[in-house]
């Protein structure tokens, strides 16, 4: 259940208002990435989730996540990991299929200070920022988790090929058994390639909400894949195609501004407009939740 304190106060500084999207907390540059009431269809993790407005999210730190991940994979079922930042939350409010895909996944992890602000309105806090840019390399670097092979799906042909070489060089314990770019037309052919590869882990990096919808619609056709992770721009970051901000900018919480400077046309609406939209949506939902049942 969600705790509903009688009075919820929220102080939004200039930094908080702007810094709402993911991949904006502490982390390392791309070269050192490897160093470092709604229910899901996973009965084991179900009790570990909290209602986050109309989403269901895990409140875990990195250590707890890996403990839970190992336990889930030990059951023999398929595990799906997704990440939600302010931009994702906005999309989930207007795309019901995407929202359903998120809520049916095993893990839904918080990415960015915006999601933390939304949690404070509900009276709780996430333990740490769980963005995929930092967490996916840790998954690939974890002994035995990926030893039966990893398949990479998404990004441009030259980027995913380079990501394959990068992972293979830095994570020999996670052999890359195949990869495909994200510009395919024949889904059945891609599914056959993944199945034939014998991969145990699949990283899908096709952007939000395409990657989550693809996983939700096709994961049952991948019986041998034990772990599927939606990775966004992870291959771009791993290969240095898109540079991460210097560490001090990451620690200050302004990596979003660094990315906006890199791709202003593509990201202006997401950050400049999307952050305001996010605040409006969570405040509206919180006020609605505070009203007595049947009121208005």
- Rounded-to-integer distance, Cα 69 and Cα 82, Å: 13
191, 221 Cβ separation under 8 angstroms: yes
- What pLDDT sits at residue 258? 83
38, 255 Cβ separation under 8 angstroms: no
pLDDT grade for 232, boundaries at 50, 70 and 90: very high
- What pLDDT sits at residue 27? 37
Peptide bond into 209 cis (omega under 30): yes
What is the mean predicted confidence (pLDDT) over 225-229? 98
Query: Rounded to an integer, what is the distance from CA 141 to the centroid of its chain?
Result: 18
pLDDT tens-digit map of 239-253: 999 888 787 877 776
- What pLDDT sits at residue 42? 43
**Which are the contacts of 77, defined by CB distance < 8 A and separation ≥ 6?**
42
Backbone φ and ψ for 185, nearest 5 degrees, come out as -115, -25
pLDDT tens-digit map of 136-173: 999 999 988 999 999 999 999 999 999 999 999 999 99
- What pLDDT sits at residue 292? 63
User: Does pTM surpass 0.75?
Assistant: yes
Reduced to 3 states, what is the DSSP secondary structure of residue 52?
strand
What is the mean predicted confidence (pLDDT) over 230-242? 94
114, 86 Cβ separation under 8 angstroms: yes
- What pLDDT sits at residue 264? 86
CA-wise closest residue to 235 among 270, 194, 271, 206: 206
């Amino acid at each position: 259940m969600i705790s509903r304190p009688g009075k919820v106060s929220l102080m939004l500084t200039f930094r908080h208002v702007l810094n709402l999207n993911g991949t904006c907390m502490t982390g390392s540059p791309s070269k050192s990435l490897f160093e470092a009431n709604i229910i899901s269809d996973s009965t084991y993790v179900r009790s570990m989730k909290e209602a986050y407005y109309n989403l269901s999210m895990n409140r875990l730190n990195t250590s707890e996540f890996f403990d839970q991940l190992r336990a889930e994979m030990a059951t023999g079922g398929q595990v799906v990991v997704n990440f939600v930042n302010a931009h994702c939350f906005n999309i989930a409010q207007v795309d019901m299929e995407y929202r359903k895909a998120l809520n049916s996944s095993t893990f839904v992890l918080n990415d960015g200070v915006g999601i933390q602000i939304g949690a404070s309105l509900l009276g709780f806090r996430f333990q740490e920022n769980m963005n995929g840019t930092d967490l996916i390399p840790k998954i690939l670097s974890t002994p035995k988790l990926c030893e039966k092979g990893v398949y990479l799906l998404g990004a441009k042909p030259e980027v995913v090929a380079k990501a394959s070489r990068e992972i293979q060089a830095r994570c020999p314990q996670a052999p890359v058994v195949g990869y495909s770019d994200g510009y395919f037309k024949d889904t059945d052919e891609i599914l056959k390639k993944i199945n034939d590869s014998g991969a145990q882990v699949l990283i899908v990096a096709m952007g939000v909400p395409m990657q989550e919808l693809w996983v939700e619609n096709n994961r049952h056709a991948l019986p041998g894949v034990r772990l599927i992770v939606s990775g966004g721009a992870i291959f771009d970051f791993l290969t240095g195609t898109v540079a991460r901000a210097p560490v001090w900018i990451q620690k200050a919480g302004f990596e979003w501004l660094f990315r906006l400077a890199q791709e202003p046309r593509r990201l202006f609406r997401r950050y400049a407009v999307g952050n305001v939209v996010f605040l409006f949506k969570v405040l509206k939902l919180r006020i609605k939740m505070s009203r007595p049942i049947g009121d208005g």
